[in-house]
Amino acid sequence: MGGVTIVNVLPRLLGTYGDSGNELALGHRLRARGIDVECVRVEPGAPIPEHGDIYLLGGGEDRAQALAAHLIGRGLMGPVDRGATVLAVCAGYQILGTSFTDSAGHTHPGLGLLDVETRPLAERAVGDTVVEPFIPVGTLVGFENHRGGTTLGADARPLGRVVRGVGNGPIDRGPGRRPRRGHARKVVASASPSDGTEGAWQGRVFGTYLHGPVLALNPAFADHLLSLVVGELPALDDEYAARARTHRLPPA
Ligand code: GLN
């Protein structure tokens, strides 16, 4: 195929957590395989290009998140209908859902591209996260920092099961159990049901709570997304990612 167009949607609003590194990771992995890459960064007020192959949304604070949802409006509908791949992280993930309620209790309409809904957890979920995925991308590692917890509807499937951290919502430890020390703070009460899952996907639209940036730390996930666009890819030397992952993976 020709080149791949990566559209980084509103990184100035959804860039608090370094998630633009996902654009760099994808660009690197394509160029290393001899595939041309065009990267477009969408500025506030600019239209979202229709011709992208992969759209990226990052994390952000509540106010920036609400503004980003308003600015995007229906701007991702056409690309998703056309079969473009989308990866959205944290605030971006929440925006893709049907609605999200911020920590002040204000409910905002989402873009309706993922059948998920977000409401505040009892307390902020912060810390390293490890996820055993349900898709073939190897153990996922990352960092989470969010107040919202996400409930999946019938059309969305979880990315994986949380081994460490909070992900979509609190892991139900039964009445009276407190979180173990030394882990990411586990939330024990929430407005949303707890199922111990992380992220969601539906067609070619993926959402996750993992920062890191997630695609730099999880090259198999990056290649999974790229393979949806360009087909099967030759392996790369991922020594740097492997080294970064060893600090986050539980001991074998
Ligand atoms: N504002 C959202 C929350 O706190 C998303 C935060 C983020 O993107 N890290 O849930």
**Among 126, 145, 151, residue to substitute to test ligand 1 (most atoms within 8 Å of Cβ):** 145
The predicted structure's pLDDT at residue 251: 77
Residue of 19, 22, 56, 62 with the most ligand 1 atoms within 8 Å of its CB, for mutation: 62
Whether 190 maps to a domain, the answer reads yes
* 104 CA → ligand 1 middle, Å: 12
- What pLDDT sits at residue 171? 56
In a domain, 167, yes or no: yes
**Residue 211 falls in the annotated catalytic set:** yes
Nearest C-alpha neighbor of 147 from the set 57, 69, 60? 60
Contact 207, 80 (CB under 8 A): no
Summarised one tens digit per residue, pLDDT across range 155-198 is 999 999 999 999 999 754 444 344 444 444 444 334 344 479 99
Residue 192 lies in a domain: yes
> The domain spanning residue 155 has which CATH number?
3.40.50.880
Annotated active-site residue 39? The verdict is: no
Q: Count of domains in the chain?
A: 1
- Contact status, residue 56 vs residue 7, Cβ threshold 8 Å: yes
> Is the beta carbon of 119 within 6 A of some atom in ligand 1?
no
- Ligand 1 within 6 A of CB of 66: no
Any ligand 1 atom below 6 A from CB of 93: no
Contact 31, 43 (CB under 8 A): no
Residue 185 lies in a domain: yes
Q: Which 3-state string (H, E, C) describes 164-193?
A: ECCCCCCCCCCCCCCCCCCCCCCCCCECCC
Residue 241 lies in a domain: no
**Assigned domain for 53 exists:** yes
Comparing CA positions, the residue from 46, 43, 39, 1 lying closest to residue 22 is 39
Is residue 252 in a domain? no
Residues with Cβ < 8 Å from 96, sequence gap 6 or more? 57, 76, 86, 88, 110, 111, 113, 114, 116, 205, 207
Determine, yes or no, domain membership for 10: yes
Q: What is the pLDDT along the chain (252 residues), one digit of tens a residue?
A: 679 999 999 999 999 899 999 999 999 999 999 999 999 999 999 999 999 999 999 999 999 999 999 999 999 999 999 999 999 999 999 999 999 999 999 999 999 999 999 999 999 999 999 999 999 999 999 999 999 999 999 999 999 999 999 999 975 444 434 444 444 444 433 434 447 999 999 999 999 999 999 999 999 999 999 999 999 999 999 999 999 999 888 777
Q: What is the span of the domain harbouring residue 85?
A: 4-231
23, 89 Cβ separation under 8 angstroms: no
CB 174 within 8 A of CB 140: no
Which pTM was predicted? 0.91
